[in-house]
Structure 1
Amino acid sequence: MSGVDWNGILHLPDAALAGDRRIPKTVLVKQVMLAKTEQKRLDKVARLEHFATVQKSTTRIPPYEDDGRNVQSIVFLRCEMAAGTMAVAESAELVHKCFPNPTVLLVEANDRACVSVALTRKSQAEQGATVVDRIESTGVFDPGSPEYADFLGALAFGRLSQGDLWEYLLDLSRAVALSRAIGGLGFYPACPARDREKLIVLTSRYDELGASVKRLKEQRRSKDITLNESAKLRMEMKEEERRLRAVADEIKEVCNGRSR
């Protein structure tokens, strides 16, 4: 597998690197007992490699456990999609599901990339088991684009919280979540530490509004829609776009240190 120099981005300690050992997909199928439909989705992944393991013995970051979570290690996997396949989100969700640890997928799809982070929690149904709690993903992006340079810089090991493995994972997932605003804003939103939580809330709202605008546009393109329905959707879309611009302005204020 060639393409993105991931450790040129992540700067993980040498002890954490796993040598890009290939993980046969047959192992995942047997290990998790994937259904036939899931096995077909897994066919969209051409190659899966163990890139690194972040844990106390490899990074000195202590583990974390409370009533809801048990983070002893974080597994980084390099994932190459099959030629011509861009179904990254559904493939990443499936691969995350195959591992009990929190996982970070470093995906390469043709000349594009994606970083997907799965946060896990203890299962309420099965003693000792873990389940995926939520997934944060960048979506597909061009790793060579100048707009993404600051985001990729934010993934460096030394720039992320290292109080414990949960802090590290959470900080990484937040950087990934913030990156989704780059396409609309034209830059990676970063701000002083005091405004970080506000920025995360705003970018989450920006995500929601962007998805709403996209959905309304798709509805307006429907061949079955009447002129009256199209007009109503157009007005609704205009209002959502206005809200989107307002949130974008708030994000810019926070990033410029002018947060109220």
Structure 2
Amino acid sequence: MRLNDIFRLPEAALAGDKRIPKTMLVSQAALTKHEQKTLDKVKRVEHFATVQKSTTRIPSCVNDERDIQGIIFLRCEMAGDSEAYADVGKLLHKCFPNPTVIVFDGESHMCISASVTRKSLSEKGAVVVEDVQSTGRFAMGDCQYAAFLEALDFDKLDQRDLLCYVKDIAWNIQLSRSVPMLGFFPMCSEHDRGKLAEFISESSRLSKELHDVQIAGKDKDATLNEKAKLRMRGKEIKRKSDKIAEEIKEICDGGN
């Protein structure tokens, strides 16, 4: 897959998919031995693009809290059949002082992760990762994610400055995590974003709780009484999830 079929960045922003040596990442971020083992799960990292004022005309964001003068786009190929996207993503994001957007590009599945950075409060001149959002693994050909990928189009994102731009990417990634539950990519008005974020966060929490309940219900050591209680709990969680899904659909219908 050509990454620019998704992001549709100006030609001037493209970096030619230059390979970034893992040794450079190790020295640049002073990775520990444990972190280097996580990096071993990566086969190849490529520099796909740099979004900055000179390549896109989007203004930098430089103030007391931020120093964002460029956003790095990377393509990451995992080693073997590893799918440790979350661990590798967090590690790669901290290797760069810039906000980064990483596409984990497999044969049939992919994952997109984005970070937002700010100045360190404790160390002068240092930058820390403030937030990371990740889609999790999804199939490239899954039509339910088509609207999400379209939302990452350069011209559709907030271009007031580089912080707004990368935050808009992160927001769309956050929304994408609700696709498996909803069956569609939710979109709403700017006014309803806070409310939608709360519902999606609660939906994710309930989804994890339901998964844990289902695993516990399969425990061979669980008594019949315990299994019955777990089934009841599972039904209650499902009821709450369905209600939240309806709330989300209502917000999205109102925003369209």
Please tell me the TM-score bracket, short chain as reference: over 0.9
The TM-score with structure 2 as length reference comes to 0.94
Mapped partners of 1:226, 1:101: distance in 2: 53
Q: 1:21: how far off?
A: 0.4
Picking from 202, 217, 239, the partner of 1:242 is 239
- Asked if 1:195 is matched to 2:179, the reply is no
- Asked if 1:70 is matched to 2:67, the reply is yes
**Structure 2 counterpart SS, 1:203:** helix
The TM-score with structure 1 as length reference comes to 0.93
**Structure 2 counterpart SS, 1:257:** helix
Comparing 134-143 and 153-162, the one that deviates more: 134-143
Provide the residue aligned with 2:42 in structure 1: 45
**Structure 1 counterpart SS, 2:201:** helix
**Structure 2 counterpart SS, 1:256:** helix
Give yes or no for contact 2:103–2:112 (8 Å, CA) kept in 1. Answer: yes
Q: Alpha carbons of 1:214 and 1:15: their partners in 2 closer, same or farther (altered >3 Å)?
A: same
- Asked if 1:222 is matched to 2:219, the reply is yes
Deviations 1:61-86 (A, max 9, x none): 11113333221111111101112111
Deviations 1:17-67 (A, max 9, x none): 111000000111122221222111111111000011111111111111333
Provide the residue aligned with 1:107 in structure 2: 104
Provide the residue aligned with 2:210 in structure 1: 213
Runs of at least 5 residues in structure 2 that lack an aligned partner in the other structure: none
Provide the residue aligned with 1:54 in structure 2: 51
**Structure 2 counterpart SS, 1:110:** coil
Picking from 78, 81, 87, the partner of 1:90 is 87
Give yes or no for contact 1:78–1:105 (8 Å, CA) kept in 2. Answer: yes
Give yes or no for contact 1:106–1:116 (8 Å, CA) kept in 2. Answer: yes
Give yes or no for contact 2:187–2:255 (8 Å, CA) kept in 1. Answer: no
Comparing 66-75 and 189-198, the one that deviates more: 189-198
Give runs of ≥4 in structure 1 deviating > 6 Å: none
Letter in 2 for 1:60: R
Provide the residue aligned with 1:118 in structure 2: 115
Picking from 218, 237, 251, the partner of 2:248 is 251
Q: 1:258: how far off?
A: 7.8
Comparing 235-244 and 7-16, the one that deviates more: 235-244
Mapped partners of 1:237, 1:100: distance in 2: 43
- Asked if 1:166 is matched to 2:163, the reply is yes
Mapped partners of 2:213, 2:29: distance in 1: 38
For these two proteins, the number of residue pairs brought into alignment is: 256
Mapped partners of 2:88, 2:220: distance in 1: 31
Q: 1:238: how far off?
A: 1.9
Runs of at least 5 residues in structure 1 that lack an aligned partner in the other structure: none
**Structure 1 counterpart SS, 2:225:** helix
Q: 1:116: how far off?
A: 0.1
Give yes or no for contact 2:188–2:255 (8 Å, CA) kept in 1. Answer: no
**Structure 2 counterpart SS, 1:251:** helix
Mapped partners of 1:104, 1:31: distance in 2: 18
**Structure 2 counterpart SS, 1:120:** strand
Identity among equivalent positions (%) equals: 50
Picking from 183, 188, 192, the partner of 1:186 is 183
